[in-house]
Amino acid sequence: MNKNLFTYKKSGVNISAANKFVSFISNISSKKRGNKKNTNIGGFGSVSNLPKGIKNPKIVACTDGVGTKIEVANLLNKYDTIGIDLVAMSVNDLIVQGAKPLFFLDYISINKIDLKKMKSIIRGIIKGCDISQCSLVGGETAEMPDTYEKGKFDIAGFAVGITNKKKILNKNKIKKGDLILAVPSSGLHSNGFSLIRYLLKKKKINIKRDLFLKKELIKPTKIYVKEVLNLVNRNLLNGCANITGGGLADNISRIVPNNLCADIDLRKIKPLKIFSWLKKKNITDKEMLKTFNCGVGFCLIINPKNIKKINRYFLNEYKPYVIGKIANGKNKIDLNGKVNWSQES
């Protein structure tokens, strides 16, 4: 071969490696579905059926990423959970509207295709889809040698769900006197990692040597699909919120009607150990509540008469508990009291 010829591979893009990766995705996703080859993977577009029996169907779509938690995965050289995070960040938004996830697509952009790393990421994505009871139907892999530094990558996810028009959760269903329940998080989920990484750098903390931090910083986001859809199907929810960036105040305010207020007692929150650890590193309460979920991964707004019915759909580790109520007020959110950071759940 003429060494002076210009090729795509010489520029840093390996189409052969990309094709092998697509074949791997097709095969592994097929195994999860009874060994029937998944014809969606590798095509120009994916074709999916709408489920039967849904009256007045409405489509709900969400997209998200995992932020700089990716840098923690790179630092620890551990990629088998970051895909779960990716799915969780989208499907947990879908269920806020009462939608059942149907399918998921991913986008992976990377400096250079590393099959071992990318296979690990995809295994996590497929596991997240299995937990969410939806299908990975396609995606895109982009090798971008001059855009990303060596070893660097980014991922994004796109989820589509469906719901009955009458079961859509919106502000109109939320009433004065409703209770606000906190559903525990699994940990940090995928928010606040830029602050965490900044703190680790300034404090010169090596997470590879700290078993507690090593475990907590890579722990995957809890997926609430099964539990929340059980409540939606039984008409036990008036509203809910996924507690991501912006914390309790920003996320709950998005679903509270203008004439009402979410009155939250911060003393009732049960922070996990990782948040108590962060709080001790000279972070104010205001910053903690704005940046992290602080142990509350999801919130349910319910009629008080339904509280006993709701608890039966959650494992003990994720049992919801009351942190406030819906009341009259000009502000959409009133945060009262102070979090007891030593009260680790």
pLDDT tens track for 238-248: 999 999 999 99
Residue 23 confidence (pLDDT) above 60 = yes
Cβ-based neighbours of 175, under 8 Å, separated by 6 or more: 238, 260, 303, 326
For 53-82, write each residue's pLDDT tens digit.
888 999 999 999 999 999 999 999 999 999
- Of 163, 161, 182, 185, residue with least CA distance to 62: 161
Q: Name the more confident of 148 and 128.
A: 128
Residue 35 confidence (pLDDT) above 50 = no
For 76-118, write each residue's pLDDT tens digit.
999 999 999 999 999 999 999 999 999 999 999 999 888 899 9
Residue 146 pLDDT: 85
In CATH terms, the fold of domain 171-187+222-336 is Phosphoribosyl-aminoimidazole Synthetase; Chain A, domain 2 (3.90.650)
Q: Which of helix, strand or coil describes residue 92?
A: helix
Report, as an integer, the average pLDDT of 41-48: 71
What's the pTM value of the predicted model, to 2 decimals?
A: 0.90
Task: Determine the Cα–Cα distance for residues 298 and 240; give it in Å rounded to an integer.
Answer: 7
Residues of the chain with pLDDT > 90, as a percent, come to: 75
Q: Which of helix, strand or coil describes residue 93?
A: helix
Which listed CATH number (3.10.105.10, 3.30.365.10, 3.40.250.10, 3.30.1330.10) goes with 15-165? 3.30.1330.10
Residue 138 pLDDT: 87
Residue 34 confidence (pLDDT) above 50 = no
Residue 161 confidence (pLDDT) above 60 = yes
- Of 227, 250, 223, 249, residue with least CA distance to 302: 227
Q: What is the band of 42 on the pLDDT scale with cuts at 50, 70, 90? A: low
Q: What is the DSSP string of 96-154?
A: GGTPEEEEEEEEEEESS--HHHHHHHHHHHHHHHHHHT-EEEEEEEEE-TTTS-TT-EE
For 257-277, write each residue's pLDDT tens digit.
999 999 999 999 999 999 999
Domain boundaries, the chain: 15-165, 171-187+222-336
Beta carbons within 10 angstroms of residue 10's beta carbon: 9
